[in-house]
Structure 1
Amino acid sequence: MTDIMKRNLLKAAGLGVLSGCATAAPAGRSVSIVKFNYTDRYIGDVSVNGVWAAGVDAFGGGGDRIQGLMAPSNTTSEATLKIGWAVGSIYSVADDEYTRMPIQAKTASVEVARPYPANPTYLVLHFYPDGHIEAELEADRPKRRIPPPPGYHR
């Protein structure tokens, strides 16, 4: 299967994933998923409404962008996402290494911050140490909200 076919299948699978949350809102433009992890644990198997979105290293972020989701065209409509993820190994900044931990599967319903930009490019997920997730749509390249800890080497 060619990359173009894979990309089109992924887009078709994700069509309306975000806009489907706001039942009357037609789909807007395609967005990429960017994740920021502010915890000392590896976060794997992230999914948004069933669309797989890879994982993110402890204190890591950006990088992986997964195509296939559509942003709502109405910039004020409500969109609630079903996020799934697995919390794994713990990272030691001092030792610059991971220690295996039991994997914990988690899920949450997360409302996307409003209003959205008129032409979003990214769906951004922020994973916080207290276990909550925040989601937002951004038009420009997203930025971390919390810097990595001093001595972080990854």
Structure 2
Amino acid sequence: MSRVSPLPALVVLASIALAGCTRDPSIARAAPAPAPAQAASADQPMLIRGLAIEGYNYTDTGIGHFNVGYAGGGNIAVSSPTSGGGGTTCCVRVFLHGPPPPPKYRVEWTRDGDTWCTQDVEVTGPIPADPGYMEVHFYRDGHIELAVSEMPAPPRLKLEQAHDNSRHEDERLNVNNDAVYSRCRLGY
């Protein structure tokens, strides 16, 4: 009696298993992103996408530098009625298929270069089918919100500013609530 080699069957099984391990963006764009509550199926390719970081500063003073998940977001001036205060930098990594995105991202920032604050923040709102931006919204009360969008959104709050780095002309009126929801320390 002849013995059948298991090698051809193993090659076929390995080929099937590896078929979903592509990182080709053109393949991933063909399939819509799953809804946040929907689990990704095994036949969807896993895609790690870099989203541009867009900062919005509704606080009273400028932010010297901030990071989202270890990706640098640059500095953010105080927002105005038409601008969130920051520019666009690249890129924070997110998983669009396969494992769900991390439930929280670590946001770190400094205003003066000496004191650094850290807050773990959940992404709020739906994830669009073709995400391009991670929006980071710093609020006056000290909380931060993250949102994923296809294009940068206009500022959520329409606030006046005295200068790029100051909400009020009288500096005594500018409030810093960074430590209310965050851990702050001297040095990075």
Matched, 1:82 2:106: yes
Larger Rg: 2
What does residue range 87-98 of structure 1 map to in structure 2 within 5 Å? Answer: 87-88=111-112
CA distance in 2, matches of 1:130, 1:104: 18
Report if aligned partners of 2:64, 2:75 keep a CA contact under 8 Å in 1: yes
Structure showing the higher strand proportion among its residues: 1
Paired residue type of 1:115: P
CA distance in 2, matches of 1:144, 1:42: 16
Are the structure 2 counterparts of residues 75 and 136 from structure 1 closer, same or farther at C-alpha, using a change threshold of 3 Å?
farther
| TM-score, normalised via structure 2 length | 0.54
| Superposed displacement of residue 142, structure 1 | 1.4
Q: What is the aligned length?
A: 117
Q: What stretches of structure 2 of length at least 5 have no aligned partner?
A: 1-38, 41-45, 165-188
Report if aligned partners of 1:84, 1:108 keep a CA contact under 8 Å in 2: yes
Q: What stretches of structure 1 of length at least 5 have no aligned partner?
A: 1-23, 89-101
2:93 alignment partner in structure 1: 70
2:62 alignment partner in structure 1: 42
CA distance in 2, matches of 1:134, 1:76: 22
CA distance in 1, matches of 2:98, 2:135: 16
Report if aligned partners of 2:67, 2:73 keep a CA contact under 8 Å in 1: yes
1:120 alignment partner in structure 2: 131
What does residue range 5-154 of structure 1 map to in structure 2 within 5 Å? Answer: 26-59=46-79, 61=84, 63-74=86-97, 77-79=100-102, 80-88=104-112, 103-149=114-160, 152=162, 154=164
| Superposed displacement of residue 147, structure 1 | 0.6
| Superposed displacement of residue 148, structure 1 | 1.9
Report if aligned partners of 1:27, 1:70 keep a CA contact under 8 Å in 2: no
| Superposed displacement of residue 135, structure 1 | 0.2
**Partner SS state of residue 111, structure 2:** strand
| TM-score, normalised via structure 1 length | 0.64
| Superposed displacement of residue 62, structure 1 | 5.5
CA distance in 2, matches of 1:65, 1:121: 11
Report if aligned partners of 2:47, 2:98 keep a CA contact under 8 Å in 1: no
Report if aligned partners of 2:77, 2:85 keep a CA contact under 8 Å in 1: no
Identical positions, percent: 29
| Superposed displacement of residue 78, structure 1 | 4.7
